[in-house]
Amino acid sequence: MCGDPLYNIFPYEYRGEQEEIESLITNTVKSGTAAVIESGTGTGKTVVSMAGALKAAHGTDSKIIYLTRTKSQQKQIIQEAAAISEKRPIVCIGVQGRSAHTCPMMSKDPENSTGTSEELSRLCSEYKKDDGTGRPCRYYENIGRTDMEGILDLVRESHPQPEEFSEYCLSRELCPYEMVKHLIQYADIVAAPYSFIFMPHIRERFMEWAGIPLSKTILIVDEAHNLPDYLREVMTIEYSTKAMALAEKEAQEWNDPEVHAGLSVTDIIAVLRECLNEALSQYLTGDDGMMPYTFLQDELMDRLGMSSHSLNMIYKGLMDHGEMIAEIKKSKKKLPRSYILSLGRFLSAWNTADEETNIFLIVGGENPKFQAYCLDPRAAAEPLRSCRSSIHMSGTLSPLSDYTEEIGLPEAAERIFPSPFPAENLKILYVNDVSTKFDEFNNIPEVYERMKDHIISIAGAVDRNTAVFFPSYSIMERFLRDDTLERIGKDAFIERKGMTQPELMEEVSLFKLSEGSILFAITGGRISEGLDFPDKDMEMAILVGIPYPKPTAKQEALRRYYDMRFGNGWERSSKIPAMRKMRQAIGRLIRSETDRGMAVILDRRVFNLEDIAAEPTDDPRAEVLNFFGDGQI
């Protein structure tokens, strides 16, 4: 088999340990097990994992599902598929969540741009029946008259990116979403967001389109270090004050329907609001607070004078009324959204949430909310145990056994492949006289002043694009309110809280285009985890403090959960995530074998973090000047 030219599909000359990684993946898939792999920048993990999995899938009816968190990663998968196709033609389809933007019928109504995939799917089903002229949506109808074989050949030959394919379809009055759905069955590789596998209602439909059961899929999880937290979020339910206000407004618009036993929707919301205020006054300590599992149900029964059976009737009544509103809106070609439906679903889900795996929180802030936070990601990770094989890859995944245990993989090969780039191209230092430890940073003014002096002196030492990563927005704001940027005296770009993706990308591209500028960003934020800064785009990183999580009730519960399951709660809940975030931020500096970069960590506690190979220094400015020569090159 190995002599078969169709089998040898790696499209480049192997370098470093690529061949070894590829054969590890091939063998893993063939044996129907899992591999958990940390592979540093430059190991070419995308193309290596695709080629390894394709080799094992060759001649079988398995399909590779490459799961990504970002659209840019999908782009790379399709580019690599084009390169592999030079050796053996393959079909690779990029699928993205449903969006009103790519639907000519829905894009006209701005409200649809906020629609969830469920809402848009419902609205689409209405358009498929009638586009407003008594005929089905023509973009849907035209698909039946399309030469699918021809389009499949086009995908096989030209490997369009999702945006390009969407434009191609629209120019021919074909629905891009439906076309992708149809083509998935022919794909060797499907690049999809995590949600397509880990959200049960989306997975069910996705598998139908793929035309195979989950047991025949090979799942490649990209940036797998994100997966445990992502899975927790998938299982978490919450309901906020703003959602209550929206449900109340909707009830008023729909004559405040009676739900059960003389109680209207607004009566129930009024009582729920009382319960929320009671929870805030009894349990909130700082950002959030733990509530007893039964608090909400008991309070509702008490305040409404009802049994749990009657409460269930109320929840059902809310959902029925909400469904009715959604249906009426749908029939009028409006977004089939109902806030009353969301309220009913929340109360019903909260009532049945598992006490063993969830904690029940009241969260404060500008928009207080109830939250049932899922601590254990294993249930949501079930697809990884039901698929044919799974490959988990990241540049920052160690300790690998922690990851394997946490998501409940039964058997996994675990390997670390370091970056092949010259180690001397990256220098990491730390200073000993500062820290963002709460008591020191907040209560000793000299510590803050020294921190500021370090930032100013290091950032001003050389004319190189420099990022200053802060452990939180609040700490960054403190420096921004002060004269830090004025004293650095360079052009500055800032990752602000709540920025939209286009706003963020604009800020980043201006920084990249500049020379010798400063970028203020967040360790663990969108810039430090997802964006590439090759060559001179970023040459120096200053990490202010260690991004340990805030000591909230949720964080404490997570620590206790890890303690009970593994016995090392603090390491798993605080230390390892902090190290991972720091490694991700530092990793922005070196994206090719010719990149050179320097990171300076402003926190004495780094010596405790074994995964951060930093050396101490008393004079970081001199070290920077030394590393970059005279600093003017």
Burial code (b: 16+ CB inside 10 Å, e: under 16) for 361-382 equals bbbbeeebbbbbbbbbbbebbb
- The nearest distance, CB 135 to ligand SF4, in angstroms, is 11
- The nearest distance, CB 277 to ligand SF4, in angstroms, is 42
- Which residue lies nearer to ligand SF4 by CB, 109 or 593? 109
Kindly state the tokens that stand for 112: 């649809």
Question: Which of 32, 104, 530, 549 is in the footprint of ligand SF4 by CB under 6 A?
Answer: 104
- Asked if 165 touches ligand SF4 (CB under 6 A), the answer is no
Question: Which of 9, 48, 106, 247 is in the footprint of ligand SF4 by CB under 6 A?
Answer: 106
Could you tell me how many helices (H) and strands (E) the chain has, helices first?
Answer: 28, 20
- Asked if 209 touches ligand SF4 (CB under 6 A), the answer is no
- The nearest distance, CB 114 to ligand SF4, in angstroms, is 16
Mapped onto helix, strand or coil, the DSSP state of residue 360 is strand
- Asked if 601 touches ligand SF4 (CB under 6 A), the answer is no
Left (φ > 0), alpha (ψ -120 to 50) or beta: where does 535 sit? left
- Which residue lies nearer to ligand SF4 by CB, 140 or 469? 140
- Which residue lies nearer to ligand SF4 by CB, 137 or 624? 137
Question: Which of 29, 175, 451, 614 is in the footprint of ligand SF4 by CB under 6 A?
Answer: 175
Question: Which of 44, 74, 84, 127 is in the footprint of ligand SF4 by CB under 6 A?
Answer: 127
Q: Which residues, 6 or more positions from 137, have their beta carbon under 8 angstroms from its beta carbon?
A: 105, 124, 127, 128, 131, 175
Say which residue the tokens 């089998």 belong to.
7
- Asked if 137 touches ligand SF4 (CB under 6 A), the answer is yes
Mapped onto helix, strand or coil, the DSSP state of residue 181 is helix
Question: Which of 64, 124, 359, 380 is in the footprint of ligand SF4 by CB under 6 A?
Answer: 124
Question: How far is CA 181 from its chain centroid?
Answer: 23
What is the DSSP pairing of strand 597-602 with strand 615-617? unpaired
Kindly state the tokens that stand for 255: 């004559």
Q: Which residues, 6 or more positions from 241, have their beta carbon under 8 angstroms from its beta carbon?
A: 273, 276, 367, 368, 369
- Asked if 522 touches ligand SF4 (CB under 6 A), the answer is no
Instruction: Choose the stretch contacting ligand SF4; rule: CB under 6 A; options: 136-144, 340-348, 399-407, 578-586.
Output: 136-144
Question: Which of 58, 87, 128, 560 is in the footprint of ligand SF4 by CB under 6 A?
Answer: 128
- Asked if 177 touches ligand SF4 (CB under 6 A), the answer is yes
Torsion sign across C-alpha atoms 252, 254, 258, 260 = negative
- Asked if 103 touches ligand SF4 (CB under 6 A), the answer is yes
Which residue number places its CB atom closest to ligand SF4?
175
Site map 46..85 versus ligand SF4, x via CB under 6 A: ----------------------------------------
- Which residue lies nearer to ligand SF4 by CB, 105 or 259? 105
DSSP per-residue codes, 544-555: ES--PPP--HHH
Instruction: Choose the stretch contacting ligand SF4; rule: CB under 6 A; options: 134-142, 292-300, 308-316, 596-604.
Output: 134-142
Count residues binding ligand SF4 (CB under 6 A): 13
Within 10 Å of residue 340's Cβ, how many Cβ atoms? 28
Within 10 Å of residue 1's Cβ, how many Cβ atoms? 9
The interface with ligand SF4 within residues 460-519 (CB under 6 A) comprises: none
Instruction: Choose the stretch contacting ligand SF4; rule: CB under 6 A; options: 10-18, 123-131, 261-269, 620-628.
Output: 123-131
Cβ-contact 592, 42 below 8 angstroms: yes
Question: How far is CA 39 from its chain centroid?
Answer: 19
* Interface ranges with ligand SF4 (CB under 6 A): 103-106, 124, 127-128, 137, 139-140, 175, 177-178
